Amino acid sequence: MSDVQTTESRGGRVHLTPGDLAARLGVSGSTFRRISTDYEAVFEALPRDAQRRRLWPLEAAERVMLAHEAVREGQADSTRAALELVRAGRELVTLLDPPALGAEGGRVKLDELSAQIHQQGEGITTLLQALDERDSEIAGALRALGETQQAQAQALRELREEVRARPAPAPPSASPPKWWERVLKRVLGSR
């Protein structure tokens, strides 16, 4: 997760973090990495922090914001083309109300984020309460199921005992010999 800090101060100069500038542009991380690569191809390499993340000086951030707005307004086909126009000094769109790039803008953003987090926390609390209620319902159903199973097991034990208590059935009686067995017995017996 990127730093919550919106700016970093290095050597008296203010730098924006990549996450903050991407949020100000309203683009995803992968889109912003492409924009960063385009910027470094057209202008100079950006300074890096100890973890090799790009740091954005305010003038570089303003260039990227102008180029991004020019692409959105249809004045350039790509961010790289818009950045080349900026480097050539061509007049592009002007931002009527550019977002504040200093620490003041960061404070407003932190307040907005804090309000969003608070609102999400309330939503999570509501969900947890609903889950607790559902867990109670499930626990009650499981108890009732367990009691039913115990009653069925007891009924089966009683039935088994009742079956064991009954007398065993008598073995089947021998069936009378067949006619050919009688004839054979007479013939063999006379010898």
Digits of tens for pLDDT over the chain (191 positions)? 343 344 555 555 678 888 888 888 888 888 889 988 988 898 888 888 888 888 888 888 888 998 888 888 888 888 888 888 888 877 665 544 555 555 455 556 778 888 888 888 888 898 899 999 999 999 999 999 999 999 999 999 999 999 999 888 777 666 777 888 888 888 887 66
Neighbours of 29 (CB within 10 A): 11
Neighbours of 45 (CB within 10 A): 9
Phi, psi of 186 (to 5 degrees): -65, -45
C-alpha span between 142 and 178 (Å, rounded): 63
Nearest Cα neighbor of 46 from 63, 60, 65 is: 60
- Which of the 8 DSSP states describes residue 168? P
Burial class of residue 101, CB neighbours in 10 A (0-12, 13-18, 19+): buried
